[in-house]
Amino acid sequence: MTTFKILTFLLLASVVFSCQGGEAPAFDTKKLTGRWELTKAWRNHRPTETLTGTFYEFFQDGSMKTNLVLDGSNGEYPFVVSGSKIIQKSKPDEVVFTVAAFSDTLLTLEMAMKNYPFKMVLHKVEQGAEFNAN
């Protein structure tokens, strides 16, 4: 009976791990393209206004632009999507965002910066329009 349990466990484990290997995006990356502006933010699980005015703009060619710059660059970076993660290819360190929620007009990102957890809610801004959070 013990051999049966071990074989069953191994079979189930192999099925689970084989299903996880694809790293398919957890959201439609085509809908990510465009400008997203911050409406709410939390630092260390407390509301913060230090990120007011933050934006992210994603382009179809795999590049992005942001004004949240920590490395002294111009805020333009390549990025990749892996599962529910957006990975900003900045140097010396990549910035990894976890997509907590995503729709046509809402993007919620979670990340760690200087060992503090951050959560940002962004809304998509149509080209030529400005988003007003109020």
- The residue whose two tokens read 């230090």 is 50
Q: Has residue 10 been placed in a domain?
A: no
Of the CA atoms within 13 Å of residue 96, those in its CB half-sphere come to 8
In a domain, 3, yes or no: no
pLDDT of residue 61: 95
60 pLDDT band, cuts 50/70/90, is very high
pLDDT band for position 9 (cuts 50, 70, 90) = very low
Domains of the chain: total: 1
Q: Is pLDDT above 70 for 19? A: no
What is the mean pLDDT of the segment spanning 56-83?
Answer: 93
* pLDDT in the model for residue 95: 94
- In-domain check, residue 98: yes
CATH number at residue 104: 2.40.128.280
Q: Are 125 and 56 in contact (CB under 8 A)?
A: no
Per the DSSP assignment, residues forming a β-bridge with 108 are 101, 121
Q: ∠ CA(33), CA(31), CA(125), 5° rounding? A: 60
Full domain range(s) for residue 71: 24-125
